[in-house]
């Protein structure tokens, strides 16, 4: 068990999730191989880094706040490739429509080590569940990193 | 601090939680010693692997979706035994009755290493809180791993 | 990458969060340097251990149940100092007023190693979001670690 390599791969996954939720699309792109194959649930499937990043950039403006937290890493390394299973909990707040998506999934990933270090070569998840609800009238957003001060 | 052993124990816990939430009861059974002592909150107490597994198998059909995620491992190893503290967040969706349980707990576990590797010998948790609520009318399950297509 | 030191720092953070949510204020105090600088979101800023601990002790009685779970540690060690980024999810239940706060934040911490081992020297977070809602009528607290049996 090469603990240092396993930790490098965990750090890669944390960078991927942090740059996703902070909408840092250039950093996000660097966590993926150019030929990455990404499948999120049953509806979203992408071939290639440009398509994944393009989709995220387009569909996640500041009015959509996301939370993607991955837990329980089970990682196996074999030379310059590795596989990993993670337990995702996610939440998406569509603030303009007062909708909230919540869900959980098991991710299975492939990782590859190249000139730019470890990157995600394949990522897919199967949901245990996904639900959508309207936020009740009493729900108030107190703070958002992407809030803009309305003009006076 | 034997980091490789600590990680082995973490992997055991992740297998336990993954097989629980995926309802893989044979895999779940293998994470427990035959004489395991399990106490979940104030209401559920079991002696022996067969009773724990039997209870879970009976009471968690596909219509009950569970999420058990454990965080913040604090693990101490002493030869072939070890102890661990974890911070659980859990959610139970009783889809047929549109009920949701949410809660958090601190787990304290004992682990034992034998012929089958590390297993959970004793597990118990004390809740910080547990709450139940009816899911509002606007809440819709979009996906469930255990959903069956209704006959046409 | 010194994995044993990184783990020590993680353990420190878990102790900090566990003693916070269990309201163990003396244990909580020991995770902080005497001159700690703590900034929680935009509203709360403290200089010095006594002020942080005093504020928490005052404002978090048993009727206020908190959950602070930190994920995705990205830690860099440099001798007797270290920095860390974490992804927090938190929930605060103000049971007497039936209010719930939920949110997520990225923490950036500084750690320092002294006579008492690693301690938190600086901690601050920026929220991705924070929301408040009234708990619906159907929401019932089934268990609380701090519940007192009402006199008969």
B152 pLDDT more than 60:
no
Structure-token pair, residue C102: 């939920």
Find residue B40's DSSP bridge partners: B44, B125
Q: Indicate the residue of A7, A69, A140 with minimum beta-carbon distance to C132.
A: A140
Residues of A in Cβ contact (< 8 Å) with C104? 21, 67
pLDDT at C99: 98
Interatomic CA distance for residues A99 and A76, integer angstroms: 38
Residues of A in Cβ contact (< 8 Å) with B136? 133-134, 136
- pTM for this model (two decimals): 0.96
Contact C111, C119 (CB under 8 A): yes
**Of A1-5, B11-15, C108-112, which range is least confident?**
A1-5
pLDDT at C148: 66
**Band of residue C150 on the pLDDT scale cut at 50, 70, 90:** very low
Contact A143 C103 (CB under 8 A): yes
Q: Are strands A140-144 and A117-134 parallel, antiparallel or unpaired?
A: unpaired
Contact A64, A57 (CB under 8 A): no
Q: Phi and psi for B84 in degrees, rounded to 5?
A: -150, 145
pLDDT digits (tens, 9 = 90+) for B12-40: 999 999 999 999 999 999 999 999 999 98
Nearest CA in chain A to B88: A71
Average pLDDT over residues A55-78: 98
A88 Cβ contact list (under 8 Å, min separation 6): A68, A69, A70, A71, A103, A104, A105, A106, A107, A125
Helix (H) or strand (E) holding A98: none
Q: How many CB atoms lie within 10 A of CB C88?
A: 20
C149 Cβ contact list (under 8 Å, min separation 6): none
A142 pLDDT more than 90:
yes
Our CA-based measurement puts residue B25 at a distance from the nearest CA of chain C, in whole angstroms, of 28
**Band of residue A46 on the pLDDT scale cut at 50, 70, 90:** very high
pLDDT at C40: 87
Q: Phi and psi for A44 in degrees, rounded to 5?
A: -120, 120
Average pLDDT over residues A120-142: 96
pLDDT at A41: 74
pLDDT at C106: 97
Chains in contact with C via at least 3 Cβ–Cβ pairs below 8 Å: A, B
**Band of residue B149 on the pLDDT scale cut at 50, 70, 90:** low
């Amino acid at each position: 068990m090469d603990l240092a390599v396993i930790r490098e791969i965990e750090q890669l996954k944390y960078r991927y999730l942090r740059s996703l939720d902070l909408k840092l699309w250039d950093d996000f792109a660097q966590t993926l191989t150019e030929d990455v194959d990404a499948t999120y649930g049953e509806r979203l499937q992408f071939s290639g880094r440009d398509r994944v990043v393009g989709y995220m950039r387009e569909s996640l403006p500041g009015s959509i706040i996301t939370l993607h937290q991955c837990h329980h890493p089970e990682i196996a390394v074999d030379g310059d490739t590795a596989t990993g299973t993670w337990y995702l909990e996610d939440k998406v707040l569509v603030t303009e429509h007062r909708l909230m998506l919540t869900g959980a999934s098991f991710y299975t990933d492939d990782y590859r080590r190249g000139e730019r270090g470890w990157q995600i070569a394949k990522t897919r998840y199967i949901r245990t569940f996904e639900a959508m609800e309207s936020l009740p009238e009493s729900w108030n957003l107190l703070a958002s990193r992407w809030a803009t001060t309305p003009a006076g």
